[in-house]
Amino acid sequence: MLRYLLRVTPAFSLTLFVSSLVSHVQACSLCEDAAEATFVGASAPVSVASAPAPALSSRPGAPYTVYLNFDGFTYSGNWAGRPPGTVPAYTGTSAQLTEAWARVAEKYAAFDVNVTTVDPSGFAPTDYLSRQNYYDTTARVMQTIIGGNNAWYNAGAGGVSYVDVFRDAHAAGSGYHTNWAFPLNLRNNQPKAVAEAVTHEAGHGFGLWHQTDYNLNPGNSYSTNGGATGDGSYAPQMGTTYNSQRGTWRVGTFGGGGGAFQNDVATILSNPGLSLAGSGGNTFDTATALPLTGSLLDSVGGVIVPLSESAPNPIGIENYSRDFFRFSLAAPGDVTLNLANGGDWITPGVAAPGATLRSRLNLYRADNRATPFAFGLEATDTMSSTFSAMLGAGDYFAEITSFGGYASTYDTTAKYFDMGSYTLRGAIIPVVVPEGGTFVLLGAGVAAFVVLRRRTGNRDARSGITCS
C-alpha cells in the first residue's frame, strides 16, 4: 500500500514524499507541522525546570497512554536522522503547563486514553536511555517531548511525529514512540497553541493524516476550514486549529488521499483495544439523580460520544450518546442549570478552556418523555447554555446531548464531530408563594443562585421555555 505524505518546508512550499508501507508496523513516515510563531532569541534556553511537572492524569489505567513530558529529556542518538541532544524543559508557568495538559486531555476525553504528565516507564528521571528504550519497545505508549524550540530539527516546525506507530512495540532506537512539540515556536508557550500541536502529533501516532480541503484546493496540506475564527468556529484537529474556537475531529479529505475521506474518530478507534469512553445514565430509566447539597447542585460531569464505534457519524443528534439526570420538586422552585462545554480538569466544578463539545440541554417533565418542554439557551460564545425558570412541583429530567455536529459551509464535504466533556452545575431554590403576594426565595444557596442566574432579561426568554 502506498501512502503519501505532504510535508511543509520552512519556505512553506510543498514537497510530496512517498513511502511504501505494507502495514502500520512498518510505518516510517513523518509528519512535520508548521510552527505558529517565531522564536525570538539567539538559541534555545538550556536550563531545566526547577521542579518537575505536576502529576496530572486524565484517565489512569486506560489502555493507551499519551505521556506529556514537560520536564526535558536527553535523547540518545538521532531521531529521524537528526540529533535532539538535550532538550530543555517547558519554560511556561505552572498554570500554563496545567492548562496545556487539560486542553489535550479534553481532546482525547471521549477515548479510553490517558493523557498524563506522569512518566509511565518507572525509571529514574535521569535514566534517559532506559526510558527511551522503554517507550520504543512498549506498545500503546507515546512520549511527547514538549520543550525548547525547533533548532535541532528544522526551522519552521511546530511539531513532528511518525504516523501510525502507536499501537505496536518497536525496536529500541526506532524513536517511533517519541514525538515532539516545540513550545517556543508555538506562540511562545501559549497553552492553546501547545495543546493543539501536541494533540495533532498524537493524532499522527494514532494513524491520522492531515485533513485538507481537497475539493477546493487539491494542493492544500492543512485545512483551516477557510480560516475560521471567532465564536462558533471549527477547524480540523488534523489541519490547523490555532485560530479557531474549537479544534475537533472530522470526516473530510486527507492529505495524499486524492480526495478520499478520513474519519478521524474511526481511524483512532482502529487501534486495537481502544474504545470510546462516554458517561452513563444514557436513558430516562437509567437517569442519574442530580447531586444536590441543600439548594445547590454539586457539579457533575460527563462525556458525550458518537454512538457507533465502527462507523461514527458526526452529523445528527441521534448519532450521539445522551446523558439524563432526574430531579424532583416537592413544591414550586426556581431552577437554574448551567451546562458548560468542557471538563473540569483544572478547577472542580468549572469547565476548563478548550472544549470540543457543543452541547444541548433539554428539560422534560416525567409524564412526557417524548418532547422537551424547555431547553437551555446557549451563550453567545457557544461554550455554555443555561436554563433558568420557575417550575411547579413534580418530577423532571435534564438531558444533555451533542448539538449534532458541524457541517462546514466552506468545504461542504467536511463534517465535524461535536463530542467531548461537559460540566453541569446549578441550583434549585424552593419558592414560597404568599397569599396574593410575590415569590420569595428561600434557602442558603441564594448568593450562588444569583450568580448563576445572570439576570439579563425576561425569564421566559432566558429559559428557552417553549411551553409551561
* List 6, 8, 30, 31, residue binding Zn ion (CB under 5 A): 31
> Cα dihedral angle (292, 293, 297, 298), rounded to 10 degrees?
-100
Name 420's bridge partners. 304
Residue 381: strand, helix, or coil: coil
| DSSP helix, strand, coil percent of the chain (3-state; round to 5) | 15, 35, 50
HSE toward the beta carbon, residue 134, CA cutoff 13 A: 15
Q: Which residues does 250 contact at the CB level (< 8 Å), separation at least 6?
A: 211, 236, 237, 238, 239, 264, 314, 414, 415, 416, 417
Task: Return the range that interacts with Zn ion (CB under 5 A); candidates 27-35, 39-47, 128-136, 169-177.
Answer: 27-35
CA separation for the pair 205, 46 (Å, rounded): 28
Which residue's CB is nearer to Zn ion, number 208 or number 296?
208
Rounded to whole angstroms, the Cα distance separating 358 from 374 reads 18
Residue 264 interacts with Zn ion (CB under 5 A)? Answer: no
Single out the segment in contact with Zn ion by CB under 5 A; choices: 23-31, 131-139, 335-343, 410-418: 23-31
- Using CA atoms, how far apart are residues 306 and 406, in angstroms rounded to an integer? 14
**Binding flag, residue 66, Zn ion (CB under 5 A):** no
Least distance between Zn ion and beta carbon 183 (Å):
16
Least spacing, CB of residue 253 vs Zn ion, in Å: 15
CA angle, residues 125, 180, 134, in degrees to nearest 5: 40
From residue 155 to residue 174, the character string flagging contacts with Zn ion as x (rule: CB under 5 A) and all else as - is --------------------
**Taking the chain, what is the end-to-end CA distance rounded to the nearest angstrom?**
60
Site string (371-410) toward Zn ion, x via CB under 5 A: ----------------------------------------
- Residue with smaller CB distance to Zn ion, 108 or 327: 108
Least distance (Å) from Zn ion to the CB of residue 326? 44
Q: How far is the CB of 263 from Zn ion (least distance, A)?
A: 17
How many other CB atoms are there within 10 angstroms of residue 275's CB atom? Answer: 15
Residue 33 engages Zn ion in binding (rule: CB under 5 A):
yes
Binding residue count for Zn ion, defined by CB under 5 A: 2
**CB-wise, 82 or 459, nearer to Zn ion?**
82
Taking the least distance from each CB to Zn ion, the nearer of 198 and 290 is 198
CB of 304 to Zn ion, least distance (A): 26
Q: How far is the CB of 173 from Zn ion (least distance, A)?
A: 23
CA distances from 170 to 24, 166, 216, 254 (A): 11, 9, 38, 26
381 Cβ neighbours under 8 A, 6+ residues apart: 231, 245
**Closer residue to Zn ion, CB minimum distance, 236 or 464:** 236
Query: Closer CB to Zn ion, residue 171 or residue 260?
Result: 260
Q: Which is nearer to Zn ion, 31 or 335 (CB)?
A: 31
- Residues 402-461 contacting Zn ion, CB under 5 A: none
Q: What is the closest distance, in whole angstroms, from the C-beta atom of residue 220 to Zn ion in the complex? A: 13
Q: Torsion over CA of 410, 413, 419 and 423, rounded to 10 degrees?
A: 20
CB 31, min distance to Zn ion, A: 4
Which of residues 210 and 453 has its CB atom nearest to Zn ion in the complex? Answer: 210
Tally: H helices and E strands in the chain: 6, 28
Nearer to Zn ion, 213 or 334 (CB): 213
Positions touching Zn ion (CB under 5 A) are: 31, 33
